[in-house]
Amino acid sequence: MLETRNLDKSFGAVHVTRDVSFRLEKGERRVILGPNGAGKTTLFNLLAGELIPDSGAIMLAGEDVTSLPVASRARRGLSRSYQKNTLFDGLSVEENLGLAASIHTGFGTRLWGDSLSRPEVREIVEDVAAQVNLQPYLHARVSEVSYGVRRQLEVGVALATRPRVLLMDEPTSGVGPEMAGAFHALLAGLPRDLTILIIEHDMDLAFEVADSITVLNYGEVVFDGAPETARGSDLLKEIYLGSWEHA
Amino acid sequence: MFRHTPLRYIALALLAAGALFQAATAGYFGLEILIEILILAMLVLALDMVAGFGGMVSLCHGALMGVGAYAFATFGGILGLTPLVSLVGAIALTGATAWVIGAVCARSHGIYFIMATLAFGQMAYSYVFQTPFFGGDDGMGGIERLDLTALGIDLTDSRSFALFCLGVLGLVYLATVAVLRSGLGRSLTGVMHSEQRMRALGLTVWRVKADVFGLSGMIAGLAGALSAMHIMYISPGLLDWTVSGEALVVVILGGLGTLVGPMIGAVALVVLKHELSAITPYWHLVVGLLLIGVVMSRANGIFGWIEAQIGARLDKRLNDITRPQPTEEPRDA
């Protein structure tokens, strides 16, 4: 469903992504691990189209999308959530979901009629609100709900575009252990045919939800395999404890 | 996202009642002032649509109004088209011009967007000023008003023309609200909050900006055509950046992103201008001080200040009145 081929990206003399290649099958859930500065968010920005790689290719469902802009990739089914909330604070939770759903259904550019009252949009809003447990907050303004609810909405907005591939950048960033537990259940409840790539620091979440794990360090893939293998990996421990050195 | 509140309905009703009263009772000079206010209100509605709901602070809306006025005068005076066809043509041409400007400027933000629109506006001004076809700095005269005699309306009469402009302003307001509440308008608000997120959701951001800028240009073109009909003469000064600057002052003075506020700002500016200019030639200083006061108060213009002072209290009181009261349960004996 999603494949990267020898992705490379530098900012001046800083080489942030080095020859990154991996492949996600349909419905696969892969977690990207790595210490701060490993190049995880840069990789997401390359996949989403917010950055263009210096070399390499990105394939989405067999199509080369490397040179396509962000919106075109999104329309092809690649959606993302952000590490820092990028919600529309002045709008209600329902309007946030509705905005995403109306873009997906094509009503977001129509001149006449309220897009949020369209049955197609309403159906997506209600469906996604149920998926990410937002029904009690639908009419609340985003600025009035808790941080944890905003993180759920961040994922919900990405889901409201009905993606084929969902990129989640640290979905549990800044939430407490209880909320992180709720996110485990939330991820487990998402449709199994949805392909998910997650950047995560929470090891428990990573090992619980991942079908496969990719570890990045200094922009390169240093581990790619099953969670069970990663769990016992000395390399992973070394990277997180800081004794691993880049060659 | 644009929302009507009880206070906004009250303000709209008061504005409409005041305009109707003025149209019914004022003499020639009073009607001229009213028409000036109504045309300026149209222009600032167009500007508020893009600046208040899309973050596109334009300094070319005066020029767009000028394009509408010159197109109307050219279609009627030189090409010999009827005033109605000229009006439709002027609105369409101005909308198309605005769409192109919006499409080109959509990738810039903040001060760069302002400067890019200023450049477009000044290019239009210079072109018209130096082109003999458009009369150069002499401008163009002999412009006809719409002929609505078939409907029993004589627009050569100032009172009828004022009422006509009031009706058109009402329709423009309703159209603006409809656009802002449509899918396109909601997407525009989303773009103002976060372009990055809207792109990531699959929206072609520049297209949304260009489309709304084009619609806003159509309103500015309509205001320009009405201005040309009003004075029956136009000059390049109509396209000058100071007209755009004055419209921006009115929007900020009234309340950016409220639609109602800019119309109040139009009333305030025109009335102040006429009243103060009779007393002192330095009336600009008073308007300047007022603008500084509004900006320094951190209120969103005159109407924003009113909304902050009484809007929330009014909403709460209405909610208390309309909320169903709990009924007392009958007690068991």
Band of pLDDT at residue A247, cut at 50, 70 and 90: very low
DSSP percent split of chain A into helix, strand, coil, nearest 5: 40, 25, 35
How many angstroms separate the CA of residue B205 from the nearest CA in chain A? 8
Task: Report yes or no: A112 at the B interface, CB cutoff 8 Å.
Answer: yes
- Chain B segment 214-243 residues within 8 A of A by beta carbon are 215
Average pLDDT of B116-125? 95
Which CATH fold topology does A1-77+164-247 show? Rossmann fold (3.40.50)
Most confident of A101-105, A206-210, B134-138, B301-305: A101-105
* Per-residue pLDDT tens digits for B36-65: 999 999 999 999 999 999 999 999 999 999
Please list the residues that pair with A55 across neighbouring strands: A8
Structure letter (DSSP) for residue A92: B
Band of pLDDT at residue B333, cut at 50, 70 and 90: very low
Q: Which residues of A are less than 8 Å from B197 in CB distance?
A: 82, 86-88, 157
**Whole-complex ipTM:** 0.86
Q: Which pLDDT score is estimated for B114?
A: 95
**Domains of chain A by residue range:** 1-77+164-247, 84-162
Task: Report yes or no: B177 at the A interface, CB cutoff 8 Å.
Answer: no
Mean per-residue pLDDT over chain B, rounded: 91
Which of A75, A99, A142, A168 best probes binding to B when mutated, by most B CB atoms within 10 angstroms? A99
Task: Report yes or no: A111 at the B interface, CB cutoff 8 Å.
Answer: yes
Q: Which pLDDT score is estimated for B316?
A: 73
Per mean pLDDT, which range of A116-125, A165-174, B316-325 is the poorest?
B316-325
* % of residues, chain A, pLDDT over 70: 97
Nearest CA in chain B to A48: B200
How many angstroms separate the CA of residue B110 from the nearest CA in chain A? 19
Q: Do B202 and A75 touch (CB under 8 A)?
A: yes
Please give the C-alpha separations between residue A102 and each of A98, A120, B182, B186, B198, in angstroms, as whole numbers.
6, 8, 11, 9, 11
How many angstroms separate the CA of residue B220 from the nearest CA in chain A? 18
Is residue A242 predicted with pLDDT exceeding 60? no
Q: Which pLDDT score is estimated for B325?
A: 61
How far is it, in rounded angstroms, from Cα A58 to Cα A40?
Answer: 16
Q: Do A103 and B207 touch (CB under 8 A)?
A: no
Q: Which of B179, B200, B211 comes nearest A74 by C-beta?
A: B200
Where are the extended beta strands (E) located within B223-303?
Answer: 233-234
Q: Which of A74, A111, A113 comes nearest B201 by C-beta?
A: A74
Band of pLDDT at residue A51, cut at 50, 70 and 90: very high
Q: Which residues of B are less than 8 Å from A112 in CB distance?
A: 178, 182
Rounded to a whole number, what is the distance in angstroms from the first to the last CA of chain A? 32
Provide the 3-class DSSP secondary structure of residue A214. Answer: strand
Domains of chain B with CATH codes = 6-320 (1.10.3470)
Non-local (6+) Cβ contacts of B132 within 8 A are none
* Per-residue pLDDT tens digits for B77-102: 888 899 999 999 999 999 999 999 99
Helix (H) or strand (E) holding B207: helix B205-231
Is residue B288 predicted with pLDDT exceeding 90? no
Q: Which residues of A are less than 8 Å from B200 in CB distance?
A: 48, 50, 70-71, 74, 79-80, 86, 158
Nearest CA in chain A to B205: A71
Q: Do B200 and A112 touch (CB under 8 A)?
A: no
Q: Which residues of B are less than 8 Å from A82 in CB distance?
A: 197
Task: Report yes or no: A71 at the B interface, CB cutoff 8 Å.
Answer: yes
Q: Do A103 and B201 touch (CB under 8 A)?
A: yes
Is residue B326 predicted with pLDDT exceeding 70? no
Q: Which of B183, B193, B202 comes nearest A115 by C-beta?
A: B183
Mean per-residue pLDDT over chain A, rounded: 87
Q: Do A86 and B196 touch (CB under 8 A)?
A: yes
Band of pLDDT at residue B327, cut at 50, 70 and 90: low
